[in-house]
Structure 1
Amino acid sequence: MAAAVVGARFCTPRALRLTLTMNLTRGGTVTDDDASGAVVLRMEVPRFLRFFGRFVLADDDVAGGRPLVSVQRKAKAFSGLYGEWEAFRGDGHGGGELLFTAKKSTIVQVRTQMDIFLASNRAKEVCDFRIKCTFYEGSAEIYLGNSNTVIAQIRRHRTVLGKSRFSVTVFPNVDYVFIMALVVMLNEIHVERLK
């Protein structure tokens, strides 16, 4: 099973154990727990765009970090009651290429469940991926479409001094940048609920 959304080069033949540590006002890092603990991605929070819920994941192997994907809350006027999110290739400036949209499966939810639709899925009748959360309990799983095939698992750790930390297991041949973009989105949804 291959699930490349941002790019095939972000799919590895082995499962990845990653840690996302972030401060929503300053950004964060994604480190590889199995290897040397090296930083593999950086999360940037453009100051003037923080209010609008935009976050950028950047490659760490290039000086200055090349923007890979930006995640942002869809304008409320267009998202309705479902709280939609969008992800674009690059930093999202200039209306970059849409990669996917995410929205709650139903308006009223006890546990967060979101449907993810790739840009190529214009009909949006059947989701390409689904997230099922018990985020207040601290965990989530990402599934391939409406199947029972888990492609990633997320564990939220207690927030300490404004820093959030997540342990993420990305299954083999799944785009880890795509998964980390979903983790950033889920955290923002959680933070919004607490307001």
Structure 2
Amino acid sequence: MPKNKKTEWQVGDPPISVVGDQFCNPYPMELMVKRKVINFSKDHYQVVDPSGNILLQIDGQAWGFNRRRVMRDPAGFIVLTMRQKGIRLKRKWEVHGGESKDKEDLLFTVQQSSAMSLKTSVDVFLAENSNIKKSSACDFHASGGYSNISFKVFKSDALIAGVGVTHKFTWGSYCKGKYNFRVSVNPEVDYAFIIALLVMVDDIENLC
């Protein structure tokens, strides 16, 4: 969990590679994430760099239980699959590499920190620490979301990524499902991991 004193992940710090080393860059990254509802049950996220090059795309179900979202690279290959687990007061997701459901391909688990808080927050457990009931501490923590205007990801007390909404928040645009995020990823931090967390937190917030 984040402590009162915050630091930031900087150049020279050890890489944070969760999805893959290819998503870690030795310099800060500024990305744009665009969300658009395709129809009543599906939505689409597109991640682009400052030059407009597509880096990642995420498709999946916007409504219903046991939802599934798939992240693809620019060539269309599946990077990871996010699956919501059952009907719970506090939402839980499991993220596997590729299309797998196998335990050995589990990358990380995401558990909503509190079902009653006005600010969405989640605890993140890596595969080797994924038994949430027995774990004493999470590996990462994320909080915020679109309606909170910002979203931050921490490793212990160190900020590893921050997200801001690119325009003034309105419930109209939020409920229409069309809005953009500006994502700042610190050096040597896995941006595919950060984007996956953003999508899952955004999903928890989508009440319209």
**How does the TM-score come out when normalised to structure 2?**
0.78
Contact 1:102/1:114 (CA < 8 Å) preserved in 2? yes
1:59 matched to which residue of 2? 73
Contact 2:145/2:205 (CA < 8 Å) preserved in 1? no
The number of equivalent residue pairs is 181
For 2:104 and 2:98, locate their aligned partners in 1 and report how far apart those are by CA, in whole Å. 7
Deviations 1:53-100 (A, max 9, x none): 21111010x2xx000011121112xxx432111111113456771111
CA-CA distance at 1:26 after TM superposition: 4.2
1:40 matched to which residue of 2? 55
Higher RCO structure (Cα 8 Å, ≥6 apart): 2
Q: Write the mapping of 1:46-195 to structure 2, written as runs, cut at 5 A.
A: 51=64, 52-60=66-74, 62=75, 65-76=76-87, 80-92=88-100, 97-121=105-129, 122=131, 123-133=134-144, 135-144=146-155, 147-157=156-166, 158=169, 159=173, 161-191=176-206, 194-195=207-208
For 2:110 and 2:49, locate their aligned partners in 1 and report how far apart those are by CA, in whole Å. 26
For 2:71 and 2:161, locate their aligned partners in 1 and report how far apart those are by CA, in whole Å. 18
1:16 matched to which residue of 2? 29
1:138 maps to a residue whose letter is I
CA-CA distance at 1:124 after TM superposition: 2.2
For 1:113 and 1:54, locate their aligned partners in 2 and report how far apart those are by CA, in whole Å. 20
CA-atom RMSD in angstroms: 2.2
CA-CA distance at 1:43 after TM superposition: 1.4
Q: Which moved more, 1:150-159 or 1:162-171?
A: 150-159
For 1:133 and 1:125, locate their aligned partners in 2 and report how far apart those are by CA, in whole Å. 23
1:9 maps to a residue whose letter is Q
Query: Mind listing any 5+ residue stretches in structure 2 that lack a counterpart?
Result: 1-13
Deviations 1:24-60 (A, max 9, x none): 4242310012xx2201111122x6x964321111010
